[in-house]
Chain A
Amino acid sequence: MESVGTVKAAVIQLECKLSRSAGNMKRAERYILQAIEEGAQLVCLPEAFLTSGNILEVSEVAVTIPGECTARLGELARQGGVHLVAGLLEKDGETHYSTSVLIGPTGELLGKYRRVHCFELEKQYLATGDTFEVFETPVGRIGMLQGYDVNFPEATRELYRRGADIIVCSALIPEQYAYVTRQLLPARVIESQSYLLFVSGLGSNTFAGFSYMGGSEVLADPLFLEQEKFDFVDGDEHLLVMERDEGLRTVELDVRRLRKYRKERSLLGDLEPRTYWRETRAAAVARLGS
């Protein structure tokens, strides 16, 4: 595989409307084409971009993967020769997942990530995934996460151990968690020594009565940037920050330099896996509140 250099990544902060899949798809297509026009090589959409977080009706609105939607995304990816990451509610027989797909520049489905962490209520509707895979591509090793995963350092740590350069976190997070999420993102990017694309959806969930936060960000490990730049100031780890408007933004990621940094400053050798997770879940839960 030819060596990776800089990558132009596009973040599409989409307003995902409930019960308006066709309209959501149309707007997503428009932005993807615009991203291609702007020279993006990696184009990213939010979690459940087609249906919004309609888990109550997941059995009606979820799509198969591969299926009609991924075929259309594949066509667009092929047309622009880009890699594409998008979140979808997935239907697999009677089971449903919140899934992110990675589509390659020839339009083929390179892989998918079924969200591993689901909160209690979601678990009544969604099954959980069981692996954090990292995909080797010409634009770098790509790992995928979804919104709720940012609460779990275990998720980024796993992707880190598997060598992810770019973590695409397609998210759809209620606005009330915006503040904490913004606090967590820098931690996630530091502990994974990577680029983190937090691609966040907008819109409101009128079933549940809240809005989604938007506020997409692209971050890089600040220690890496400090080493790279003569003029780094605290906060510069946010390469891109979006507010609450729908839109498209692009950013350059220097994956080659990041890899070099990671090689020199890797945390991997200092991990002590023998000591982690020795407490059983049952014991930890039993202690809660006691």
Chain B
Amino acid sequence: MRVLLISTNKIRVPRPALPIGMAYISAALKAAGHEVHVLDLLWESRELKAVCEKLKQTPYDLVGVAVRNLDNLTFIDPIFFGPMTHKIVQAVRKYTSAKVVIGGSGFSVEPRSFFEYSRPDYGIAGEGEDAIVQLASYLETGLGNLGQIAGLCYMRDGKLALNPPSGTVDVTRLEPDRSIYDPRYFEETVAAASDLTRDYQPAIETLQTKRGCKMYCSYCIIKKTEGRGNRFKEPRQVVDEIKRAMRDNPQVREFEIVDATFNYPLDYAMEVCTEMIRAELKVPWYCQLTPNAITPEFVDLLERAGCIRVDLGTDAFTDEALEQLMKGFDMARVLEIDQLFTKSKLEHTHCVFLGGPGESPKALRESIDFTEKYLRPAQIYANLGIRILSKTKLQRQAIKAGIISENHNMFIPTFYVEPDTLADPETLDYVRNAYLRHKNWYLWWGIKGQRLVDRSVEVVKRVRDMHEEYNYVMKSLPRLEVWGEADEPSSETKLPVLKASGDFSRTVAQARSAAGNCT
């Protein structure tokens, strides 16, 4: 079959993400004997024009639309990619007789409403390597059973069938097809405005060491994209893949591990680092870590393995919010980890949400004071509020807090910002001033020019417009009934809270009571 894969990702911050998901799909299709062409819209200034031209050039049998980001998850500056995907499907219909299938994490987070809105022939939720090959074979030969393709969304007897994703693809036999990457990804560029620790971004490669995550953060959708259980590559395989990628592309200077959480489980991460040290890899790299599983030995291993920067999924700087987010650690632990990294050679960034569930104006102000006084990260990367996606605990919390209704459609950007905090201009100013004061704290690139309260009013309107646009499109589309809806297990399971050693707990307690006295 001749297949065209279109990567729709347009986001370049905090750095352009290589379309590794599409590269895995390409590898799987090529291994099954199909001819694969690609179009990467990151490099096109007029995306739909590029799509139409490509479609007119060559006849394709199947067009795969890779949607990494449904939106940018950013309350303060929401960007929504649903409409673009819908138009791409319409273009495929107009210019070709090809079947069109949508996949990628942006599809997987909200498959039902995404399908209903964009009306492709098929959607694939979750991992796509096996499913796309099975689908292509079905389309080519008419053989096989669509009902058995994991994650497949398709029309069955006039209804929308949503097969549950299985999260069982064998990761040890996979490697992405890196030949599809546009060479422009590998040009050194000025670092994005949101990357405050460096001026230039050298060329990087990315890779996965495993899939799945066993933690239960309240807003997380990992069960929909990768699955809950872990599946690992052999550490040796990981190192060989890096070496090969670097050898095949001499422009690459660094690499990034794109596991949702590299250090959970910790022993596997340590094995990977040990293997890198043994293989004398000597390439700078970075990864995302949870504060849940970090020890001095691990930090030492990271350093020796060549890791230069880590993004910590700290998520909040208050105990209240950490608990609500089900992070499984508290502020004392955050402080301990912060000090551990401050002492090391690694650059560490705390990624946090401000105004998440439970984060009252008072708690938020206190957290800022605490952060200023005690934490010494290379960078803080903050977001105001949290994107609510369906079938998460956060969705239930938002319904309970009256932020959304039971039947609210999560497909269109929808956010949890603690209502009291959003309604408190002084606290928002307090936050803004703090983020302006610290050159290495990032909240939003436009923060210099506008008060957060004014911005919030604009954003709420902008999001309302997105919902209206959606309703406009949906007016002409009949609603789809679901054929045997899949029930997924609840994400309510709680992790035990990881307590830090006595000293750190005391510092946090003292800081909080001091803050309480003066506010």
Min distance, Cβ B190 to any Cβ of chain A, angstroms: 4
Judged by a CB distance under 8 angstroms, whether B450 is at the interface is yes
Q: Which of B12, B46, B450 contacts A176 (CB 8 A)?
A: B46
Assess A174 versus B449: contact at CB under 8 Å? Given A207-B193, A209-B12. Answer: no
Give 1 or 0 for each of B409-450: 1 = CB within 8 Å of chain A CB: 000000000000000000000000000000000000110111
For window 166-221 of chain B, which residues contact chain A by CB distance below 8 Å? 189-193, 199, 201
Most interface-central of A124, A204, A206, A209 (chain B CB within 10 A): A206
Q: Which residues of B contact A121 (CB under 8 A)?
A: 446, 449
Query: Is B45 within 8 A of A19, CB to CB?
Result: no
Q: Is the CB of B190 within 8 A of A19?
A: yes
Measured between alpha carbons, how far is A127 from B449 in the docked complex, in Å?
12
Interface contact B449-A178, CB-CB below 8 Å: no
A18 and B189 alpha carbons, distance in the complex (Å): 9
Name the CB-closest residue of B to A57: B193
Q: How far is the CB of B471 from chain A (nearest CB, A)?
A: 15
The answer, yes or no, to whether B13 is at the interface (CB within 8 Å) is yes
- CB distance A206 to B45 under 8 Å? no
Chain B residues whose CB sits within 8 angstroms of the CB of A179 once the complex forms: 46
Say yes or no: B193 contacts A124, CB within 8 Å: no
Pair A206/B449 contact, Cβ less than 8 Å: no
11 contacts between A and B (CB under 8 A): A56-B193, A56-B445, A121-B449, A124-B448, A124-B449, A125-B448, A206-B190, A207-B190, A209-B11, A209-B12, A211-B45
B10 close to A (CB within 8 Å):
yes
Within the assembled complex, what's the spacing in Å between the Cα atoms of A178 and B45?
Answer: 9
- Across-interface contacts of A211 in B (CB, < 8 A): 45
Which residue of A19, A124, A204 contacts B446 across the interface (Cβ within 8 Å)?
A124
**CA A56 – CA B194 in complex, angstroms?**
11
Q: Which of B12, B201, B450 contacts A124 (CB 8 A)?
A: B450
**In chain B, what residue has the closest Cβ to A120?**
B458
Residue among B10, B192, B193, B201 with max Cβ neighbours from chain A (10 Å) = B193
Question: A123-B449, A175-B45, A206-B191 provided; 8 other pairs, C-beta below 8 A?
Answer: A19-B190, A19-B199, A56-B448, A174-B45, A206-B189, A207-B190, A207-B193, A209-B12
| Measured CA separation A124–B454 after assembly (Å) | 12
- With a cutoff of 8 Å between Cβ atoms, the chain B residues found around residue A56 in the complex are 193, 445, 448
Using A121-B446, A125-B448 as known contacts, say yes or no to A209 and B10 having CB atoms under 8 A apart: yes
* A210 contacts chain B at the CB level, 8 A cutoff: yes
Contact in complex: A207, B448 (CB < 8 Å): no
Residues from 9 to 55 in B contacting A, C-beta threshold 8 Å: 10-13, 45-46
Chain B interface (Cβ < 8 Å from any Cβ of A): 10-13, 45-46, 189-193, 199, 201, 445-446, 448-450
Bound CA span A19–B198, Å: 13
CA distance A215 to B189 in the complex (A): 23
State the CA gap A210–B44 with chains docked (Å).
9
Q: Which residues of A contact B (CB under 8 A)?
A: 18-19, 56, 121, 123-125, 174-176, 178-179, 204, 206-207, 209-211
Q: A210 CA to B184 CA in the complex, in Å?
A: 13
Closest 10 CB pairs of A and B: A124-B449, A209-B12, A175-B45, A176-B45, A207-B193, A206-B190, A206-B189, A18-B190, A56-B193, A19-B190
How many cross-chain pairs have Cβ atoms below 8 Å apart between A and B? 39
Query: What residues of A have a CB within 8 angstroms of the CB of B199 in the complex?
Result: 19
Which chain A residues border B445 with CB–CB below 8 Å? 56, 207
What's the Cα separation between A207 and B13 when bound, in Å? Answer: 8
A266 to chain B, nearest CB (A): 38
User: Is B13 touching A209 in the complex (CB atoms < 8 A)?
Assistant: yes
A85 to chain B, nearest CB (A): 27
- Which of chain A's residues has its CB closest to B201's CB? A206
Cβ-closest chain B residue relative to A176 = B45
Distance in Å from the Cβ of A61 to the closest Cβ of chain B? 12
Chain B residues with CB below 8 A from A125, complex form:
448-449
Would you give the shortest CB distance from B468 to chain A, in whole angstroms?
A: 10
Q: Which residues of B contact A204 (CB under 8 A)?
A: 189
Task: Please measure, in the bound complex, the distance between the C-alpha atom of A18 and the C-alpha atom of B446, giving whole angstroms.
Answer: 18
User: Would B446 and A206 count as touching, CB distance under 8 A?
Assistant: no
Complex: A179 Cα to B48 Cα, angstroms: 14
A207 near B192 with CB under 8 A, answer yes
List of A residues within 8 angstroms of B190 by Cβ:
18-19, 206-207
Question: Which chain B residues lie closer than 8 Å to A174 at the CB level?
Answer: 45
In the bound complex, CA of A149 to CA of B191 (Å): 29
What is the bound-complex CA distance between A125 and B446, given in angstroms?
9
Q: How far is the CA of A18 from the CA of B192 in the complex (A)?
A: 11
B161 nearest CB across to chain A (Å): 37
Q: How far is the CA of A204 from the CA of B191 in the complex (A)?
A: 12
Residue of B nearest to A178 (CB): B45
Q: How far is the CB of B459 from chain A (nearest CB, A)?
A: 14
> Nearest B residue to A19 by beta-carbon distance?
B190
B46 / chain A contacts, CB cutoff of 8 Å: 176, 179
Residues in B with CB closer than 8 Å to A175 are: 45
Q: Which residues of B contact A124 (CB under 8 A)?
A: 446, 448-450
Q: Which residues of B contact A18 (CB under 8 A)?
A: 190
Which residue on A lies nearest to B47, using beta carbons?
A176
Within the complex, the shortest CB–CB distance from B186 to chain A, in Å, comes to: 14
B45 close to A210 (CB less than 8 A):
yes
**Whole-angstrom distance between the alpha carbons of A104 and B109 in the complex?**
61
Measured CA separation A123–B454 after assembly (Å): 15
Which B residues lie within 8 Å of A209 (CB)? 10-13, 192
Residues in B with CB closer than 8 Å to A206 are 12, 189-192, 201
Task: Give the residues in chain A near B189, CB-CB below 8 Å.
Answer: 204, 206
| Minimum distance in angstroms from B48 CB to a CB of chain A | 11
Nearest CB of A to B74, in Å: 14
CA distance A18 to B188 in the complex (A): 13
Cβ distance A88 to chain B, nearest Cβ, rounded Å: 19
CB distance from A128 to the nearest CB of B (A): 14
